[in-house]
Structure 1
Amino acid sequence: MSNQPPLPDESNFPNDSGSIPSVEEIVSRLDRLLANPQVRNFKELNLTDDGFQQRYQILNEVGRGAFGIVYRAKDTQLNREVALKIPRPEVILDQDKLHRFEAEAGTAAKLDHPCVVPIFEANLRASPPFIASAFCKGPDLGDWLEQRQQPVDCIEAAEFISRIAEAVQYIHDQGVLHRDLKPGNIMLEPKNDATRIERLSQCVPRLTDFGLSRLIENSLHFTRSSLMIGTPQYMAPELLAVKSEQYTKASEVYSLGVLLFELLTLHSPNDGGSYLEIIDRVRSQEPVHPRTLNKSIPADLEIICLKCLARYPEDRYHSALELYQDLQRFLSEKPILARATSQMVHLSRWTRKADRIRQAGLFALCFQILIIAWMYILLMLGLYLSEADRAEVLFANAYDMILVTFAFHTPLAIGGWLTMRKNRWSFWSTLVGSYILVGILIYSFLFSSVAFEYNYNSFSAKMGVFMGLIMGCGIQSILYTVAIPAWNRMKLTSK
């Protein structure tokens, strides 16, 4: 016990023999017991299962995750190295987290695939609970990428992701979603006992850490105390929305696209200085094209990557199998099924953004207020500078201005303000009102109108005023028309 950090001084706790330490004190003690990476055997961990101590001999700690600590250990009974995952102290004391740890064992144990780390044994009622799985001698993909100075060869990256996509399709076929696909959860198992992995072709990728996985048919939702399920850089946009959608197979296709992007560029498509910045970028921005960072990427491979990273699930591959098949077509130099996004599709996506609604409402509000202010400023100047014989015309102007202000411009300005606030009825009424006003202005320009006709002594003078009004109201009508898809989408998502 010489290398073990000392436990808290008992004198710090109540002397009353009947007192019970608080949860914080228990967590502190357990964390000290499990925190030392130099532990050599289970006696130093104060474990109580003698049979377990005799079978497994801990060699060293290899990593820590959200729910457990992973040790490299020797199975003395079968004479093989294993990875032992033991729950963190706070997990043992938290029933919800312990349930997820147990779910990982049950999920992974049913999977049998060359690219999935197999589970040898799990005892969740031992002291402590543990999962024994195959030990991978290589690093995880995240550590391997950190050591690289140059992006992975394009063919090699496509082959690697195709193998992972095949494994992901396999776990989907078993009714399981991984929910946390990222480099840290992909182990690299060296081929032929290679001591150093220089190329991905020298290893076999193996998926691990199913702690966040969930059966596809299971309706259980994690509680909001979890805050976030997964890693933001690898999460699909729909999962980071204010009203997040359900995790689906398309969400995992997005994660595979992020992995492919990182292999090809050594950058994430969602780089940011903080989690909030990353989340905002994923939700609101289109991914950078990989070829802007690496000119050597073939056009077809970039198309495959961008299809995986599409912001809307319906625009991605419908399954990991479809991604695998398209990657195989690329590797075989056959035409891929994915196609570059057309300008019409870009326009359609642009019109579905919520910003279109706000911009239409803001333009209507500002433009109509500007018209009202312009008319009354002209009226005030006319009254100030007018001659006696013009007084009758100015009073007629005042009457017409009040009429059109309350009949058209004020309702449209209010409609624009309500549109910005996403009022249910304002959008369509303002859209219709904008078209009506454009029609009235065109009619007044072409023919003699009731209002303001006496102000224009020539057709060119009339044109100078009405053309500006027609263009402004026309732009307002176009902005509202363009925002129709965004308005419909907002109403559908709010139901």
Structure 2
Amino acid sequence: MRQFVVGKLNDAESVAIEAHLFGCDACNQSLNSVSLTDSFTELVRGQSLGTTDPIVPTHIDGYEIIGELGRGGMGVVYKAFDQRLKRQVALKVILNGELAHTEQRERLRLEAETIATLQHPGIVQIYQIGEYQGHLYLALELLDAKGLQQVMDDAPHCPMWSAALIQQLADIIHYSHQRGIIHRDLKPENILFNHALDQGLPRISQFSSLKNTAPVVKITDFGLAKYLETPVKMTKTGLMLGTPHYMSPEQIPDSGEEVSCASDIYALGVILYQLLTGRVPFASSNILEVLKMLRHDDPIAPRQLNPAIPRDLETICLKCLMKKPADRYASAQDLADDLALFLHNEPIRAKPLNLWQRCVKWVRQKPFLASSYSVLLCLYGLHWFAMSVLQLPRHQGMFHTVLTIATAGLAVFFYGLQTILASEKWQRLGLYACMVVTVVAVTGIFICDAAALSAPINVYMYLILGAALIAPNAHIIGLQTLLSLLGYASLLLFAYWFNPVLQVSVEVAIFFMLNIVITGFLTYLLVRRVNSINNL
């Protein structure tokens, strides 16, 4: 795993390791115990390189070391004095000196080249790149003010001030994008202020007095920057770059989407969300849980956490956090323009989700509940169609009443089951409970039906297909098929003992049971085929 994270494996090995990591329970349990302090990549990379403390002398190539400013998985940043030009600088030194991995050294050189091409007042400038006694270093512009991470806390901040801050960051990032460079690691630690904020970030109570203020900020740490058109691929397949809490969904390996300018827009949306609500969209110290939510879940609407947020600003924030890059702002400049419109009390261009879009989001967020309710509606709709249009006599009286009560009861049961299925610990037990309760309910309904015993066969086959939709797992489909057979067998026994009028021949009963078995077998093969294609 260490070789995988630091990029020492070839592409084929990386793909194999990545597939294993997301399918092995033992490895998942091991990863669950890792806390997120910066990023998963930096954590494991730091452990894999042996020594974590760089051997740094008092002086490095004409720079006098004053003190340490901070450190990460790849390097340590010192406050230093340039003895030649008589100025203080931030000296970023790569970890482990001569022992540093080749890719780390190349990444530091890439950072130097990147910053050198970005001459903008909102980007920390580079003075020199050099190597001294095996220590590769960068001499960067020093800002004495604190960074955004150091002054943020878990409380919401002034919406107008936050909007002004993100507007300025969006302008800076747009400048970078225009020159073909994606930052890929935007987060509060990499945002520095040009001047000190003695009283911390503004609160909601300071809304009116700070309405038109915007701090001057600078963006730093382009170590993970990516050129939009680069002939050399620095990272190997399967290497996850970025900090999970601020990563975009497409930065997860094998996400199916290319990392683009939209990735930086997503990160700006996360920072805005954190400023407005006091928390990141997906708050968890569990790495796999963060990645799972990032890939599948939608963030809680900011106004649910902080009603003081203006609706337009919430709309802007949520547009930045859309799962698909194409659904976000087309450029960082568009984001900055919309924030400017908001700050000037003008109508913004982004529109809130309409009813259809909200329904689609709900279906994506709760697939089990959506698919279960769809099946219930279809079955109950067919019943009403048969009763009202076809006017079948068997769809009246006790059967209609029992079906109505059972449908309502299953809807409530599925709603409660959704919470259980959201927990990985109880997910499998919840699926078993869902299958058992559904088969029992269907069998009970048809016991009250005074019709031929062929009627429930189609419903049992629908249940098998529904199991494949909810949980595409061969084991689950096999269990659902067995339960369906037991349900139909129960109907036959009930008719034999209590309703001799409804007796069916042995040949017919066997034929109907074979229908259930064949449906289950074909569904099993289909799921196996789809899963094998997905694993290629």
Q: Secondary structure at the match of 2:194?
A: strand
- Which residue is equivalent to 1:280? 292
**Residue 409 (str. 1) matches residue 521 (str. 2):** no
AA paired with 2:185? D
- Which residue is equivalent to 1:239? 251
The alpha-carbon distance between structure 1 residues 86 and 386, as it changes in their structure 2 partners (threshold 3 A), is closer
Contact 1:362 1:417 in 2 (8 A): no
Contact 1:261 1:267 in 2 (8 A): yes
Contact 1:197 1:203 in 2 (8 A): no
AA paired with 2:140? S
**Residue 333 (str. 1) matches residue 345 (str. 2):** yes
Q: Secondary structure at the match of 2:135?
A: coil
Query: Which residue, out of 57, 80, 103, partners 1:73?
Result: 80
Task: Tell me whether 396-405 or 248-257 shows the greater mean CA deviation.
Answer: 396-405
Structure 1 segment 203-282 matched on structure 2, within 5 A: 203-224=215-236, 227-240=239-252, 242-243=254-255, 245-282=257-294
Query: Which residue, out of 160, 170, 178, partners 2:165?
Result: 160
Q: Distance in 1 between matches of 2:230 and 2:315?
A: 34
**Residue 62 (str. 1) matches residue 69 (str. 2):** yes
Q: Distance in 2 between matches of 1:417 and 1:104?
A: 51
The alpha-carbon distance between structure 1 residues 354 and 237, as it changes in their structure 2 partners (threshold 3 A), is farther
AA paired with 1:315? D
**Residue 145 (str. 1) matches residue 155 (str. 2):** no
**Deviation of 1:156 (Å):** 0.6
Contact 1:361 1:418 in 2 (8 A): no
AA paired with 2:101? D
**Deviation of 1:370 (Å):** 5.4
**Deviation of 1:196 (Å):** 6.1
**Deviation of 1:246 (Å):** 2.6
Query: Which residue, out of 376, 384, 390, partners 2:489?
Result: 376
Encode CA deviations 1:123-146: one digit per residue, 9 max, x unaligned: 257753221111011111111103
Q: Distance in 1 between matches of 2:190 and 2:98?
A: 20
Encode CA deviations 1:420-468: one digit per residue, 9 max, x unaligned: 54648xxxxxxxxxxxxxxxxxxxxxxxxxxxxxxxxxxxxxxxxxxxx
- Which residue is equivalent to 1:185? 190
- Which residue is equivalent to 1:134? 141
TM-score (norm 2): 0.63
Task: Tell me whether 307-316 or 340-349 shows the greater mean CA deviation.
Answer: 340-349
Query: Which residue, out of 491, 494, 508, partners 1:400?
Result: 508
The alpha-carbon distance between structure 1 residues 175 and 74, as it changes in their structure 2 partners (threshold 3 A), is same
- Which residue is equivalent to 1:446? none
Contact 1:67 1:91 in 2 (8 A): no
- Which residue is equivalent to 2:91? 84
AA paired with 1:291? R
Percent identity between the two aligned chains: 31
- Which residue is equivalent to 1:303? 315
Encode CA deviations 1:318-344: one digit per residue, 9 max, x unaligned: 221111111111111111111111221
Greater relative contact order structure (CA < 8 Å, 6+ sep): 2
Q: Name the larger-Rg structure.
A: 1
Q: Distance in 2 between matches of 1:115 and 1:332?
A: 23
Contact 1:361 1:416 in 2 (8 A): no
Q: Distance in 2 between matches of 1:174 and 1:275?
A: 33
Q: Distance in 1 between matches of 2:489 and 2:198?
A: 83
Q: Distance in 1 between matches of 2:361 and 2:528?
A: 22
Q: Distance in 2 between matches of 1:194 and 1:313?
A: 34
Task: Tell me whether 357-366 or 202-211 shows the greater mean CA deviation.
Answer: 357-366
Encode CA deviations 1:241-261: one digit per residue, 9 max, x unaligned: 654533111111110000001
AA paired with 1:161? I
The alpha-carbon distance between structure 1 residues 29 and 308, as it changes in their structure 2 partners (threshold 3 A), is closer
Contact 2:297 2:364 in 1 (8 A): no
- Which residue is equivalent to 2:301? 289
Contact 1:141 1:183 in 2 (8 A): yes
- Which residue is equivalent to 1:172? 177
Give the number of aligned pairs: 379
Q: Secondary structure at the match of 1:229?
A: coil
Q: Distance in 1 between matches of 2:98 and 2:362?
A: 45
**Deviation of 1:376 (Å):** 3.2
- Which residue is equivalent to 1:97? 104
AA paired with 1:131? L
Contact 1:361 1:419 in 2 (8 A): no
- Which residue is equivalent to 1:362? 467
Query: Which residue, out of 114, 117, 120, partners 1:113?
Result: 120
Q: Distance in 2 between matches of 1:169 and 1:91?
A: 36
Q: Distance in 1 between matches of 2:269 and 2:244?
A: 14
Q: Distance in 1 between matches of 2:468 and 2:267?
A: 38
The alpha-carbon distance between structure 1 residues 283 and 401, as it changes in their structure 2 partners (threshold 3 A), is same
The alpha-carbon distance between structure 1 residues 94 and 304, as it changes in their structure 2 partners (threshold 3 A), is same
Q: Distance in 1 between matches of 2:483 and 2:52?
A: 69
Q: Distance in 1 between matches of 2:54 and 2:327?
A: 49
Residue ranges of structure 1 left out of the alignment (5+ in a row): 1-23, 425-489
Contact 2:468 2:527 in 1 (8 A): no
Encode CA deviations 1:381-402: one digit per residue, 9 max, x unaligned: 5556788xx8xx84x5322222
Q: Secondary structure at the match of 2:290?
A: helix
The alpha-carbon distance between structure 1 residues 398 and 143, as it changes in their structure 2 partners (threshold 3 A), is same
AA paired with 2:506? A
**Deviation of 1:32 (Å):** 6.0
Q: Distance in 2 between matches of 1:133 and 1:108?
A: 10
Encode CA deviations 1:290-324: one digit per residue, 9 max, x unaligned: 11221110000001001111122222112211111
Q: Secondary structure at the match of 2:521?
A: helix
- Which residue is equivalent to 1:33? 55
The alpha-carbon distance between structure 1 residues 220 and 288, as it changes in their structure 2 partners (threshold 3 A), is farther
Contact 1:379 1:398 in 2 (8 A): no
AA paired with 1:412? T
**Deviation of 1:367 (Å):** 7.2
AA paired with 2:333? L
Contact 2:298 2:361 in 1 (8 A): no
**Deviation of 1:265 (Å):** 1.4
Task: Tell me whether 289-298 or 60-69 shows the greater mean CA deviation.
Answer: 60-69
